[in-house]
């Protein structure tokens, strides 16, 4: 943000306007969007925030870094359904 705000100190008025506009946009994004809107939306959505769509689950390949055949997603789904091992 400081780099963009430094454009305000140039002699070109168009560059000054761009600098001030971008600095305000970054400040609004950092405060309003990321600190207020995103957490509020996640709170309102509840469990839907972390839901993985079943149609997408069929399309995404199963990759296991540890070499196990079951994925962590399946274990989490089973644990949530009460079918944990």
Q: What is the pLDDT of residues 66-84, one digit of tens each?
A: 766 555 556 666 666 665 4
* Lowest model confidence (mean pLDDT) among 12-21, 38-47, 48-57: 48-57
Predicted pLDDT at 84: 47
Tokens 């789904």 belong to 77
Q: What is the pLDDT of residues 10-42, one digit of tens each?
A: 999 999 999 999 999 999 999 999 999 999 999
Decide: helix, strand or coil at residue 29.
helix
CB 26 within 8 A of CB 4: yes
Task: Report residue 27 as tokens.
Answer: 């400040």
């Amino acid at each position: 943000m400081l780099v963009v705000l430094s454009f305000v100190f140039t002699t070109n008025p168009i560059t000054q306007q761009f600098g001030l506009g971008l600095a305000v946009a970054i400040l609004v994004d950092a405060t309003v969007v990321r600190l207020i809107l995103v957490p509020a939306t996640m709170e309102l959505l509840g469990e839907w925030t972390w839901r993985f769509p079943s149609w997408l689950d069929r399309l995404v390949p199963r990759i296991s870094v540890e070499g196990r055949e079951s994925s962590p997603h399946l274990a989490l789904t089973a644990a949530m359904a009460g079918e944990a091992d």
